[in-house]
Amino acid sequence: MMHTELTSTPDRQRFVYIETMGCQMNVYDSERMGEVLSSEQYAPTDDRSTADLIIINTCSVRDKSEHKMVSMLGKLRPLKEHNPELVLAVSGCVAQQEGEKLLKRVPHLDLVVGPDQIADLPVMVRNAREQRSRATATRFIHKNDYEFIEAQAPADGRVTSFVTVMKGCNKFCSFCIVPSTRGREVSKPSDKVVSEVQMLVDSGIREVTLLGQNVNSYGLDKRGRKGVGGELDFSGLIDRIAAIDGLERIRFTTSHPMDCSDRLIDAFGRQPKLMPWFHLPIQSGSERVLRMMRRRTIVEDYVDRIERLRKARPDIAMSTDIIVGFPGESRADFEQTLELLRRVRYSSIYAFIYSPRPGTAAARIEDDIPLAEKKERLYAVQQLQNAVTAKWLQSFDGAELDVLFEGPSRLHSRGQKSNSIVARAVGGPPQLMGRTPHNVKVNVETTDFYALRDWPGQIAKVRIDHVGNHSLNGSLVAFR
Ligand code: SF4
């Protein structure tokens, strides 16, 4: 039950520490939580020991992050005992799934807040702080009433940003908990998406990544599959965003193959701001396993779409998700996954061992593959993909690529404030990190004293001098 009573005005600066687990949607939600909490005078901090409010923004797609949440809650207990004023909250997918049960299980937890209730967070936090009230808010808001929280201009000097364009999922893949934790699909009105991107561009953003559980079905909740009604489809949305002056690059994630339309494929051929990088999850190369996963995907149709994407944009970098050890996955099924990886030659993949998620259809099927066998399959997938990725990265050796600089490279900025010009004095010659159109990180060292100040947000030709396992090193040729 949620309390909504406001009792007094905030009296002093407070600090919030947000631990974000899981996907980019959670990163975006954490940013919105930080923004709405500024009305209660909470400023972000990286130091949880001095925080007045700690939020764990959770993910329940895999059991690993759920275990991480449980362990973190355990570690926070002494902090809460030492400082009873501290407000402790769990948000995100585990909050949605567990609700009230989580409050009962964890006596030192104050708030459980589902993804649809972020707007209520300031009131809940205030009541927890002033009345010591514990509360749960996990109600889904009907799609007709759902309002996306307006993003604020970032003040941290970043040049890339996520933009949520829709929430929820209607697909119900048998292994996935997302439709239960994020609800049904709701698209953000295109006018709102465009004004958010315009606001971001005005504040220095040069690249946006459009987010949703399945962005390819953008607008379907308003239009229906026949395209009747007042909303754009996803390719139309990309075209509108691309018309914004000052925006250099558009990416998106994530997608379901079923909704990868011809119009979207064409967009890769005609829209230069749409970067040649496409994450299109397949999960398995076996039709039999895909049916058990309820993926509604035919492998040959999927491969055909990729071939058409490569015709539209020959250099497009494809990536995917693979689950190994799904219940009933035979050796022959698994071999088909390996075969698919050899055929498609992804630039990268995210491969996972299947683990049943409570509340999903697959959790009712016997998890019959021994863990040792699952690990062996994961290893085989990773070995194969590592070789493909290495060859693909090697193809950039000596090439001149367009790189959008984002800020100091991680090595260089360790322990220092991002974009700080002081970094040069502390860490030797500046080393900046940028990304190629294919989303590969490139580190560039320079003797330009002002590079950390001047380069972020600019696109330059960079010659690749060294190819690493996951990133590249290069030297500046010229700014565009
Ligand atoms: S498409 Fe499937 S895997 Fe992706 S979020 Fe929806 S249900 Fe989950």
| Cβ of 297 less than 6 Å from ligand 1 | no
Atom of ligand 1 nearest to the CA of 214: 1
| Cβ of 166 less than 6 Å from ligand 1 | no
CA 214 / ligand 1 centre spacing (Å): 7
Q: How far is it, in rounded angstroms, from Cα 382 to Cα 223?
A: 40
Q: Which residues pair with 89 in a beta bridge?
A: 55, 111
Q: How far is it, in rounded angstroms, from Cα 175 to Cα 451?
A: 47
| Cβ of 256 less than 6 Å from ligand 1 | yes
Token code pair at residue 143: 């799609």
**Residues in CB range of 67: below 8 A, 6 or more apart:** none
Closest C-alpha residue for ligand 1 atom 8: 176
Alpha helices by DSSP H, listed for 174-295, are 178-182, 190-202, 220-223, 234-242, 262-270, 287-292
* Domains of the chain by start residue, with CATH: 14-137 (3.40.50.2300), 160-394 (3.80.30.20), 400-479 (2.40.50)
| Cβ of 179 less than 6 Å from ligand 1 | yes
**Residues in CB range of 395: below 8 A, 6 or more apart:** none
Of 24, 59, 164, 169, best ligand 1 pocket probe by most atoms within 8 Å of the beta carbon = 169
pTM of the entire structure? 0.91
pLDDT in tens, the chain (480 residues): 444 444 445 578 999 999 999 999 999 999 999 999 999 999 999 999 999 999 999 998 888 888 889 999 999 999 999 999 999 999 999 999 999 999 999 999 999 999 999 999 999 999 999 999 999 999 999 888 899 999 999 999 999 999 999 999 999 999 999 999 999 999 999 999 999 999 999 999 999 999 999 999 999 988 766 555 668 999 999 999 999 999 999 999 999 999 999 999 999 999 999 999 999 999 999 999 999 999 999 999 999 999 999 999 999 999 999 999 999 999 999 999 999 999 999 999 999 999 999 999 999 999 999 999 999 999 999 999 999 999 999 999 999 999 999 999 975 544 444 444 334 445 568 899 999 999 999 999 999 989 999 999 999 999 999 999 999 999 999 999
| Cβ of 56 less than 6 Å from ligand 1 | no
What is the C-alpha radius of gyration for the chain, rounded to an integer number of angstroms?
23
DSSP designation for 127: H
Q: How far is it, in rounded angstroms, from Cα 302 to Cα 11?
A: 57
Alpha helices by DSSP H, listed for 271-327, are 287-292, 299-312
Give Cα separations from 385 to 86, 349, 469 (angstroms): 46, 7, 12
| Cβ of 178 less than 6 Å from ligand 1 | yes
The reported pLDDT for the residue numbered 389 is: 98
**How far does Cα 156 stand from its chain's mean position?**
19
Residue 361 φ/ψ, nearest 5 degrees: -65, -40
Closest C-alpha residue for ligand 1 atom 4: 213
Of 60, 214, 282, 357, best ligand 1 pocket probe by most atoms within 8 Å of the beta carbon = 214
Atom of ligand 1 nearest to the CA of 179: 7
CA 296 / ligand 1 centre spacing (Å): 11
Listed residue (284, 251, 16, 270) closest to 129, CA to CA = 16
Taking a C-beta distance cutoff of 8 angstroms, is the pair 350, 318 a contact? no
| Cβ of 73 less than 6 Å from ligand 1 | no
Of 170, 171, 252, 279, best ligand 1 pocket probe by most atoms within 8 Å of the beta carbon = 171
| Cβ of 173 less than 6 Å from ligand 1 | yes
Residue keyed to tokens 């937890």: 109
Token code pair at residue 233: 């489809």
Closest C-alpha residue for ligand 1 atom 2: 173
**How far does Cα 194 stand from its chain's mean position?**
20
Q: How far is it, in rounded angstroms, from Cα 320 to Cα 431?
A: 30
| Cβ of 22 less than 6 Å from ligand 1 | no
| Cβ of 214 less than 6 Å from ligand 1 | yes
Q: Residue 201 carries which side chain, given as an amino acid letter?
A: V
Token code pair at residue 185: 């699909």
Listed residue (296, 303, 306) closest to 217, CA to CA = 296
Peptide bond into 254 cis (omega under 30): yes
| Cβ of 213 less than 6 Å from ligand 1 | yes
